[in-house]
Amino acid sequence: MVTVKGGVYLPLYGAADQLIDVDSFMMDVLPVTNTDYLKFVQENPKWKKSNVKALFADKSYLAKWTDDTSFTGLPDAPVNNVSWFAAKKYCECQGKRLPTMDEWEFAAMANEDVQDARKIKSYNQYILNWYEAPRTYNKSVGSTFKNYWGIYDLHGLVWEWTQDFNSVLISGESRKDQDKDSNLFCGSAAIGASDLMNYAAFMRYAFRGSMKARYSSQNLGFRCAKDIEKLDVGQKDL
């Protein structure tokens, strides 16, 4: 894991004075691989393909695994077709957690050289080109660039689950809702965006809005994050 130093950032939806504070956190350098996940299901049999409950995973769960312990593709390719419930449990078993949406977006806005590359046209084009590329989930982890924080593959291999992915959802029929996010995805959705040209971010938000926790997809994997442990008040570094 590496440390991502906290700061503030402007999310896709939000006025200029609605910056989000992100505390420092730790994030896995690489996505979870097929080999990693195989070890997990061997140690936690209820998450094997043949055992998992329908409440926690749909029929696509581990779809490319031929049985409970055999997968197709590279051992070091990112695991995919994993539900949010399964990804959450995996991270918990490692003493970690899934990253929040803000943590993921904060880390993923960095390119190789700067913390926030969202205004760099070539960087956004790189992400959009990846969205159009087929079967990138078959590549080995670590095959994309290492970003400013020392993290690989936030863009280029698979989409990734976040802890609060469904926080982008809204209730009811959006034109009737009265909350401040009532037009997030329907009608005047784009008008409320902080960057109308950030098509890559629009696609991520739309994808999150279409998902349910039991869903799985061949283009969707995950990695873990962790809070930075703070010293107790009065405790000194040794």
How confident is the model over 155-201, as pLDDT tens digits? 999 999 999 987 764 444 443 444 444 444 333 344 444 454 466 77
- Collapsing DSSP to helix, strand or coil, 33 comes out as strand
Residues 6+ apart with CB under 8 A from 211: 84, 165, 166
Q: Residue 156 in contact with residue 78, Cβ under 8 Å?
A: no
**Residue 38 falls within a domain, yes or no?**
yes
Confidence band, pLDDT 50/70/90 cuts, at residue 204: confident
Strand partners, 172: none
Is pLDDT at 94 greater than 80 in this prediction?
yes
Q: Where in the chain does DSSP place strands (E)?
A: 2-4, 7-9, 20-22, 25-27, 65-67, 70-71, 159-160, 220-221, 225-227
Average pLDDT over residues 4-29: 86
Is 213 among the domain residues? yes
Percent of the chain with pLDDT over 90: 67
- Local confidence band at 207 (pLDDT 50, 70, 90 cut-offs): confident
Domain membership of residue 235 (yes or no) is: no
- 102-118 pLDDT, tens digit per residue, is 999 999 999 999 999 98
Q: Which DSSP category does 99 fall into?
A: P
More confident residue, 232 or 138: 138
Query: Count of domains in the chain?
Result: 1
Do the Cβ atoms of 59 and 52 come closer than 8 Å?
no
Query: Residue 18 has what pLDDT?
Result: 79
CB 115 within 8 A of CB 107: no
Query: Residue 229 carries which side chain, given as an amino acid letter?
Result: E
Tell the residue number behind the tokens 């994309």, with chain if given.
144
- Please check whether residue 100 lies inside any domain of the structure: yes
Residue 232 lies in a domain: no
153 vs 169: which has the higher pLDDT: 153
pLDDT at 230 over 80: no
* Residue type present at position 156: G
Q: Are 34 and 24 in contact (CB under 8 A)?
A: no
Considering only residues 24 and 168, tell me which one the structure prediction assigns the higher pLDDT: 24
With respect to residue 236, please indicate whether it lies within any of the assigned structural domains.
Answer: no
Cβ-defined contacts of 156-159 (< 8 Å, 24+):
156/130, 157/31, 157/77, 157/78, 157/221, 158/31, 158/78, 158/80, 158/219, 158/220, 158/221, 159/204, 159/207, 159/217, 159/219, 159/220, 159/221
Instruction: Tell me if 196 is assigned to some domain.
Output: yes
Render pLDDT for 33-66 as a digit per residue (tens, 0 to 9): 999 999 999 999 999 999 999 999 999 999 999 9
234 located within any domain: no
Tell me which residue range forms the domain holding 137. 2-227
Q: Can you give the CATH number for the domain in which 31 is found?
A: 3.90.1580.10
What confidence score (pLDDT) does residue 211 get?
85
Look-up: residue for tokens 């930075």?
Answer: 228
Give the pLDDT confidence score for residue 166 in this predicted structure: 78
Decide: 169 and 209 in contact? Cβ < 8 Å.
yes
User: Measuring CA to CA, which residue among 132, 110, 129, 128 is closest to residue 119?
Assistant: 110
